[in-house]
Chain A
Amino acid sequence: DQQVKQNSPSLSVQEGRISILNCDYTNSMFDYFLWYKKYPAEGPTFLISISSIKDKNEDGRFTVFLNKSAKHLSLHIVPSQPGDSAVYFCAASEDNYGQNFVFGPGTRLSVLP
């Protein structure tokens, strides 16, 4: 049973527009959430994180929104750039010890020029 779900395997967006990547989770004990980006033949790269005491965290073009009651988070990329084309993973953890993050299956984002 997947505790972290990313129901869209792929997403295509025009350059300059907003990309919205969604993530749902089932474990109400999850309190820490991260987004990673992965290019082919490379390891995942950390993008942005949020803890459950917040509902929004922003870093440049990237904003993560958390709706704890709905067990849903989303990553917004504005404006989208061709270099953002990658697989995006949502990850969640119950504790603050940086271990045992549960990853979703990923969403492949394609930003079209």
Chain B
Amino acid sequence: ETGVTQSPTHLIKTRGQQVTLRCSSQSGHNTVSWYQQALGQGPQFIFQYYREEENGRGNFPPRFSGLQFPNYSSELNVNALELDDSALYLCASSFGSSYNSPLHFGNGTRLTVT
């Protein structure tokens, strides 16, 4: 069973640039969630995708957008990067959308905005 994989592992961008982060779901999972984890804090929910549609969104501005593909892999896009966007971005997959289907997290992408 292949786990959740994220790429790249580290990324450095300049303020104002755009970034795309990628995630491959664990096999058999059809739901992908993205979380942002700032230093010293817990992960914060960005949004979730189920069957290629956004299925819930946290308190993040529209410059955070996403996609889910037919093979259930996903992208997180962030436009007009700000210094505060520097964080660990975690992708998590699950089968369905229920607290009984716990999230399986990838190892994250560390984004640094300078």
Contact = CB atoms under 8 A, between A and B. Distances in A.
Interface residues of A, number: 26
A103 interface: yes
A91 interface: yes
B41 A99 contact: no
Given A43-B4, A100-B45, A51 B106 contact: no
Contact-residue size bin, chain B (C-beta under 8 Å from the other chain): 20 to 34
Contacts of A89: 42-43
Given A103-B43, A105-B40, A98 B96 contact: yes
B28 interface: no
Interface string A74-113: 0000000000000001010100111111111110000000
A44 B56 contact: no
B36 to A, nearest CB: 11
A46 to B, nearest CB: 4
Interface in A33-68: 34, 36, 41-46, 49, 51
Nearest to B48: A99
B103 A98 contact: yes
Given A42-B107, A43-B4, A46-B104, A97 B98 contact: yes
A103 B44 contact: yes
Interface of A: 4, 32, 34, 36, 41-46, 49, 51, 89, 91, 93, 96-106
21 contacts: A42-B107, A43-B105, A43-B106, A43-B108, A45-B105, A46-B104, A49-B102, A89-B43, A93-B99, A96-B98, A96-B100, A97-B55, A97-B99, A98-B96, A98-B97, A98-B103, A99-B33, A99-B55, A101-B45, A105-B41, A105-B42
Interface of B: 4, 31, 33, 35, 40-45, 48, 55-56, 58, 90, 92, 94, 96-108
